[in-house]
Every structure is written in C-alpha cells, then in structure tokens.
Structure 1
C-alpha cells in the first residue's frame, strides 16, 4: 500500500506502508529468522517472541521508504 498526501505549499509526499507479518499493524519492521522462515515483524512482536530487543545494527532492508538527504549520503 502506498500513502500519498499533499501539503498546501504544493509539496507531495509519499511512503510505502509496511505491516507486521504477525499482528498486521503498520510499523518499522525488523527481520527475525525463525529457522524455517524469515519474518519481518514489529518491535512489539519481536520482543514478545524473543524476549530481547533487536540488535542495534541497521534494520534489514524492508519495503519501508527510507530516504536520505544528500549530506547523509556523503
């Protein structure tokens, strides 16, 4: 699902909505390797399944729209 909205100054914004594969809520997703399958799940489901928070590494690439400014890319 893609969400698109416009501001009064004429700027158009969009983002690709992501949903947890377990609870189906929209959220930032974290990859969890369950042995037989790799799931992209939200923080709440991740902590309830593993008892731990995800590592502080950058999250695995998902279909979430992550944009960077030109300065961040340099």
Structure 2
C-alpha cells in the first residue's frame, strides 16, 4: 500500500484525475450513490443558476501546468 501511495505522489495533477476516475469506476456502491444523488437533485437549479454552476465547474477542472 505504501508503494502505491508513493507512486501517486509522483504523478501529475492530470494523471491523478485519471487515477481517481478509474478508482471511482471500480466501486459500484459509490457509483450507485452518485446516481441516486443525481436523480434526487435533477432539475433543482433553474437555467441561469445552471449556467453559473457549469461555468464554475469548467474553471475548476482546468489543470494548472505551472504547478
């Protein structure tokens, strides 16, 4: 386990995002939980709030290559 954590520390931010995505797909319980949350919150934001939220998400997903 310690060697895996050490390997993770040496990855770039982009690679860490890829690893996180892979690990999430391997956990069916977490996937089911995310689906349920999405189902429960669908339609909660109006269109204007949705645009603001998506713009905030777009900015948060940019990888800072200077880091």
TM-score with structure 2 setting the length: 0.26
Q: Structure 1 or 2: larger strand share? A: 1
Q: Which has the higher helix share?
A: 2
Whose relative contact order is higher, 1 or 2, with alpha carbons under 8 Å and at least 6 apart?
2
TM-score after normalising by structure 1:
0.24
Which is greater in Rg?
2
